[in-house]
Structure 1
């Protein structure tokens, strides 16, 4: 097998993306940190799973203050991950297996150790205007509270401005103070970024996932306001993305993929960003559904999330993005807790089946599914006991800020344990050895204690496993045009525990039925009209088949008496 460059422009509609967080995927040299050679050694696993694209987290040179999302050199590999030669080999080996490589790239900000910013610190430098430098507020001394040029707050806590005494001004950082924001209003900045992106395409990568890309257009004058929400989808966003497409992608002869991560984006804006006629990005990566359980205090102040609210949100995006918009479909990623613990049921009795049902619901929707490393095994959140177990800057900053305000750590621990990004960053669970097959050394973050029960060795090739269910879903998307191209009709939206919808395309119809409770569900009779002429023993009769099911028992129960067992899911197919 090799990479196929003779594809339609919208090839990614029938594709599945697998996200690798390099630090935690596979360690080849025993230093406790994942690396490129470790990934290369595990590529046969990805080929077995059947994915089409690997989204590779940042491996650029970086101080690693934010685990690689603070880039100090866009055109080199950080030594902790390997070398450019290793990356070239990874690209070659992926392509040999028919898999494309999507590079995660951050162009909203750089590291404060990037040469551009180091030079920018000099007020007389030609690169001073490559970043946002501003004097203190009138009648205020630089560095004192309230002297910041505006009232914006950073995502990682505190003001979004850092005082630089040497140059006598503040610089803007919407994330950490180690991540100064680039000034996209400067055409020299944009040209430098486009050159760098073309360099990567020439090297063989197949596209980019653009981190927080909808923050690059800041409001004119940087006025006081809501900060993050005020700058998202700014006044020149569509102009900048169209220019990037024209400068970087337009003359490329091979199939590429460009994904825009866009926190706070609305359905209306997403439809414009992804309209093929506008040539901006192929799909958005948005956050509405993973923000629904955030309470008044933010992501570490979690509130109960009833399934109908989650269902309403995702199905609204399904309906309102049609016919031109396109979305990334995901439960897990490197910034989110594990879905089976968050949206499913990680009790030992229900973990596997709920992990499979979450996969069924997601992969049958309209959009491009993403599988985050370990999700295909049903990996869960990890049990954190104290602050020493955490590594994520967001979690550590939040704990420090709250303790300074007088809160006890024991009070913070439940929210941190449930919401920390570190849940997604524990090592990939390959086998039941001490290092879970991830490393022969001491891992940079502790292995989840349940690795002995949840690991690839116990699931690959094992009928009924979470891995094999994912494998079947991926193959079904490849083989069934209705999944990639069909319309979506939400069903039974008033049911408290049943997630149901219909897909239709060129005479093919799919009915998706999924239980989100431990108790058996009686399926409303109107949903199964005209579908009950099929039985599990003769699934092809009258053109009706069981396309996908979490178990044979679930398929039999649905077809025999219209009942769906707890946390099970079934997909029926028919020709109209």
Structure 2
């Protein structure tokens, strides 16, 4: 989008959304400020964002072509899923060369241009680092499996067959659920917590850690601004591999996450990499307790900067959906735990879950737009660093796959085979897969109403959602009431008001069955957030101090407010200021 058009659109958004309404910025000293706390992160799945060369696969040049669009969103950071050399068994999370770009994505020159273009626009870049495991096509693993006395043997976890069957370990992506894979070359088993093509690296070996730090320095020297560590809570293992007790599956993370040396590894990584550059760090997963999370991210620990836990997205892991009471409780509990120390991520979507509006909102034609706007209002008004996933700024929805042959995700394909072998109710399994599959969140970005949604001139690697003619950037770009422009209004409001970043959070009316209400307070500055998470009108009595408050955000054009009681329409989201 042209910058002139963007500026014109801002004129259509209420002025309070773009001006600094903060009363206390100059008067209130904010402790421990950091750039990575203050910006919104935009996650790009490169395979699905924009195809520049007509092969049906998104690439780096496609992202370069859309840099002005990304800038128009008001985001300050971009996290991109892996684009390294890879056999693409798990869409790039099986890396065969950490210093090379997969040709399908482009070249290192393309990456350098992309990074420079982001920096010119004041946007930071976050690199996805996949080092719990590598690809089985990585040279390290090829060497490791070649003989028991190879120098790279201890780069991975091996169990000699003469010792008998290795103690059972669960694999997230294996069709049989077994994380040990027999390899006849050396008559031994290797460990893989994910797919068999993703053998786990042996972090007990200091040479492995040195290799990883050198890789991270390579990218930091190029100018990347942050690192997201994939599946990192799994890297430390008890290499005696003790037997797990019965019932382990009820608390799987307790047995595979937060291993005995994880903190020493992170402190070493901090000394070797993070402390030497102006970068921020976040790891996928935060353990299973608040204590775990604080040990990972509290500043005096010298480990990571930001906690990224899964309790919020895990609220919807079945066809039953979620209850608003649960959503309130989880978000409020995490905010309270990090109110004084540490920092958290705020998100409800990413590449590992289905679309946010289909899971947490209502994706019917009547309510898709207001509920998508409400979810944006919610995420960008909470304390913590908000993450938004490409397409969520449009209200993109789940796709409707009916047969297993339509799925591309290895987790879906192998999970189907596992369910089949265990005699599961396959009709119910397919219903759950249709709703929860990761492929829902990986369909191509919907740019316009032309063939393939303007994503590519060729047939895309994953089908475009059929609703692309209605839900696309071109249709929403110039519409001041669109989901897209509501997202821009929210980023503008957040970027210009420190209260939405650092302000205290207090939940109101915790027992209200429809409305999630809370205040954000920083010094003299305060905002009230009212969110109706339902398909019917909801009412709430305003406290005295809010009865003459003005609206600064509203996802509808009107608000029913008689000075005492506010009536919110279905999925209405309002932010008010005294």
Q: Which residue of 1 aligns with 2:134?
A: 110
Q: Given the alignment of the two structures, is residue 573 of structure 1 paired with residue 566 of structure 2, yes or no? A: no
In 2, the alpha carbon distance for the partners of 1:115 and 1:278 equals 34
Residue 404 (structure 1) shift: 2.7
Contact conserved, 2:144 with 2:155, CA < 8 A, in 1? Answer: yes
In 2, the alpha carbon distance for the partners of 1:315 and 1:285 equals 15
1:244 alignment partner, one of 269, 275, 281: 269
2:293 alignment partner, one of 267, 270, 276: 270
In 2, the alpha carbon distance for the partners of 1:15 and 1:415 equals 34
Q: Which residue of 2 aligns with 1:4?
A: none
Go from structure 1 to structure 2 and tell me whether the alpha carbon gap of 1:304 and 1:54 turns closer, same or farther (over 3 Å shift). closer
Q: Which residue of 2 aligns with 1:260?
A: 283
Residue 328 (structure 1) shift: 1.1
Q: Which residue of 1 aligns with 2:452?
A: 435
Which stretches in structure 1 are left out of the alignment for 5+ residues?
2-6, 141-146, 295-300, 535-544
Go from structure 1 to structure 2 and tell me whether the alpha carbon gap of 1:471 and 1:137 turns closer, same or farther (over 3 Å shift). farther
Partner SS state of residue 324, structure 1: coil
Residue 291 (structure 1) shift: 1.5
Q: Given the alignment of the two structures, is residue 503 of structure 1 paired with residue 527 of structure 2, yes or no? A: no
Residue 388 (structure 1) shift: 2.1
Q: Given the alignment of the two structures, is residue 62 of structure 1 paired with residue 66 of structure 2, yes or no? A: no
In 2, the alpha carbon distance for the partners of 1:559 and 1:341 equals 34
Residue 118 (structure 1) shift: 0.9
RMSD: 1.8
| Aligned pairs for 1:506-517 within 5 A | 506-517=523-534
Go from structure 1 to structure 2 and tell me whether the alpha carbon gap of 1:187 and 1:558 turns closer, same or farther (over 3 Å shift). farther
Q: Given the alignment of the two structures, is residue 358 of structure 1 paired with residue 375 of structure 2, yes or no? A: yes
In 2, the alpha carbon distance for the partners of 1:389 and 1:242 equals 44
Partner SS state of residue 101, structure 1: strand
Residue 478 (structure 1) shift: 1.1
Contact conserved, 2:254 with 2:288, CA < 8 A, in 1? Answer: no
Partner SS state of residue 507, structure 2: strand
Q: Which residue of 1 aligns with 2:258?
A: 233
1:10 alignment partner, one of 29, 34, 44: 34
In 2, the alpha carbon distance for the partners of 1:11 and 1:193 equals 26
Q: Given the alignment of the two structures, is residue 531 of structure 1 paired with residue 546 of structure 2, yes or no? A: yes
1:293 alignment partner, one of 311, 316, 321: 316
Deviates more, 1:376-385 or 1:211-220: 211-220
Q: Which residue of 1 aligns with 2:554?
A: 549
Residue 552 (structure 1) shift: 3.0
Q: Which residue of 1 aligns with 2:503?
A: 486
In 2, the alpha carbon distance for the partners of 1:509 and 1:112 equals 53
Residue 33 (structure 1) shift: 0.4
Go from structure 1 to structure 2 and tell me whether the alpha carbon gap of 1:429 and 1:422 turns closer, same or farther (over 3 Å shift). same
Deviations 1:12-64 (A, max 9, x none): 11100000000000000111000001110011100111110110110000000
In 2, the alpha carbon distance for the partners of 1:399 and 1:137 equals 33
Which stretches in structure 2 are left out of the alignment for 5+ residues?
4-30
In 2, the alpha carbon distance for the partners of 1:488 and 1:126 equals 54
Residue 228 (structure 1) shift: 4.7
Q: Given the alignment of the two structures, is residue 127 of structure 1 paired with residue 152 of structure 2, yes or no? A: yes
Go from structure 1 to structure 2 and tell me whether the alpha carbon gap of 1:84 and 1:522 turns closer, same or farther (over 3 Å shift). same
Paired residue total: 540
Contact conserved, 1:357 with 1:550, CA < 8 A, in 2? Answer: yes
Q: Which residue of 2 aligns with 1:144?
A: none
Partner SS state of residue 377, structure 1: coil
Deviates more, 1:28-37 or 1:558-567: 558-567
Q: Which residue of 1 aligns with 2:9?
A: none
Residue 409 (structure 1) shift: 4.3
In 2, the alpha carbon distance for the partners of 1:115 and 1:30 equals 31
Deviations 1:333-386 (A, max 9, x none): 111111111110111011000001111111111100011000000001111121
Q: Given the alignment of the two structures, is residue 188 of structure 1 paired with residue 207 of structure 2, yes or no? A: yes
> Could you state the TM-score of these two structures normalised by the residue count of structure 1?
0.91
2:401 alignment partner, one of 376, 380, 384: 384
Q: Which residue of 2 aligns with 1:417?
A: 434
In 1, the alpha carbon distance for the partners of 2:565 and 2:481 equals 23
Contact conserved, 1:528 with 1:562, CA < 8 A, in 2? Answer: no
Deviates more, 1:261-270 or 1:502-511: 261-270
In 2, the alpha carbon distance for the partners of 1:460 and 1:137 equals 64
Partner SS state of residue 393, structure 2: helix
1:23 alignment partner, one of 47, 63, 73: 47
2:97 alignment partner, one of 39, 59, 73: 73
Contact conserved, 2:253 with 2:288, CA < 8 A, in 1? Answer: no
Contact conserved, 1:514 with 1:569, CA < 8 A, in 2? Answer: yes
Residue 256 (structure 1) shift: 1.8
Partner SS state of residue 291, structure 1: helix
In 1, the alpha carbon distance for the partners of 2:222 and 2:283 equals 21
> Could you state the TM-score of these two structures normalised by the residue count of structure 2?
0.91
Contact conserved, 1:153 with 1:228, CA < 8 A, in 2? Answer: no
| Aligned pairs for 1:199-238 within 5 A | 199-225=218-244, 226=248, 228-238=253-263
In 2, the alpha carbon distance for the partners of 1:68 and 1:558 equals 54
Partner SS state of residue 427, structure 2: helix
Deviations 1:453-472 (A, max 9, x none): 10011111321111111111
